[in-house]
Amino acid sequence: MGRTPCCDKNGLKKGPWTPEEDQKLIHYIQLHGPGNWRNLPKNAGLQRCGKSCRLRWTNYLRPDIRRGRFSFEEEETIIQLHSVLGNKWSAIAARLPGRTDNEIKNYWNTHIRKRLLRMGIDPVTHRPRLDFLDLSSLFNSTQLNLSSLLGLQALVNPEILKLANSLLISQTENPELLLQKIQENQLLNGQIQNSQGPNISNNQTSMFQYNNQLHHQVPEIPNCTPNVSCSSSHQSMNGQIFQENMMLPLQYYSNYSASDATENSTFQSLNNSSNQNSQNFSFDTPLSSGIEDEKESYCSNFMKFEIPESLDFDDFM
């Protein structure tokens, strides 16, 4: 069965919408409501196809659309939902009030996806990409003492491991439950925001305080990207277990913010946080360096993958 075009394209306008066209569409929908997109252009006096009108309305003109940069919480939610739903942009958008699937899709492709790649995280699987990591630097680094590295496992916050584990289980066994948890998390974030005012930096600070603890607990390994921490797992090494152990806990994702403004506010927040407790956090790169460098350094600081204690490095070689 051949798919017939939604409208006769002859004589219909394409390309960017003019303010006049927008006004016509808004006026018509205000009077008659959305729907019946096939007949809408004719009735509204628009030389557009119905599909174009629907897209223009749902992606741009709808009054409940939230314009502007994505908040930190929104970015975090997108990443969490994408790890469960994949490229189901409409499903993700349904859980982000005021955001359209198109907007989220664009934002993912232009900001989040690239950043995950730069961090060595596969944006499809949400797992670290070994092919992106310069593992040789791990072995060639004269400053990396492998035995002491493996001894770090006791320093990893067990709560992080617990959360990562529950996330992994939820993701693989019960995606719906994970979605529910994410929604609960969103509600909680909203409550925190409401109780603390509209400034998201409060929430960011609380989140980063936790990361700061992590950062404090796991000593830096200079000249080693990514930095490596050890899992408390005592499972024997095999491909599957290793891969699952390599699933990143959510905290690692939350260490960046994709929009420039949010990045700046994030770093301000971090900076303030570190000022309040200077022993709790320190940048590898001085804050006087470029923002981009800060971001890279900042991201790499948190690329702390879990490596099973029994990992045999010969398997890699």
Which residues here bind DNA, judged by CB under 7 A? 1, 3-4, 6, 9, 13-17, 35-38, 48, 50-52, 54-56, 58-60, 87-91, 101-103, 105-107, 109-111, 114
With contact defined as beta carbons under 8 Å apart, do 44 and 25 qualify? Answer: yes
- Residue 45 φ/ψ region, left for φ over 0, alpha for ψ in the -120 to 50 degree band, beta for the rest: left
CA distances from 269 to 116, 127, 174, 272 (A): 22, 27, 35, 5
Minimum distance between the CB of residue 299 and DNA, rounded to whole angstroms? 15
Judged by beta carbon, residue 4 or residue 30, the one nearer DNA is 4
Tokens of 197: 């005012």
Judged by beta carbon, residue 111 or residue 304, the one nearer DNA is 111
Judged by beta carbon, residue 108 or residue 281, the one nearer DNA is 108
With contact defined as beta carbons under 8 Å apart, do 156 and 232 qualify? Answer: yes
Minimum distance between the CB of residue 56 and DNA, rounded to whole angstroms? 5
CA distance 163 to 59: 35
Judged by beta carbon, residue 229 or residue 262, the one nearer DNA is 262
Minimum distance between the CB of residue 147 and DNA, rounded to whole angstroms? 41
Minimum distance between the CB of residue 313 and DNA, rounded to whole angstroms? 35
18-24: Cβ within 8 A, 24+ apart: 21/46, 21/48, 21/56, 22/56, 22/60, 22/61
Minimum distance between the CB of residue 59 and DNA, rounded to whole angstroms? 6
Judged by beta carbon, residue 40 or residue 228, the one nearer DNA is 40
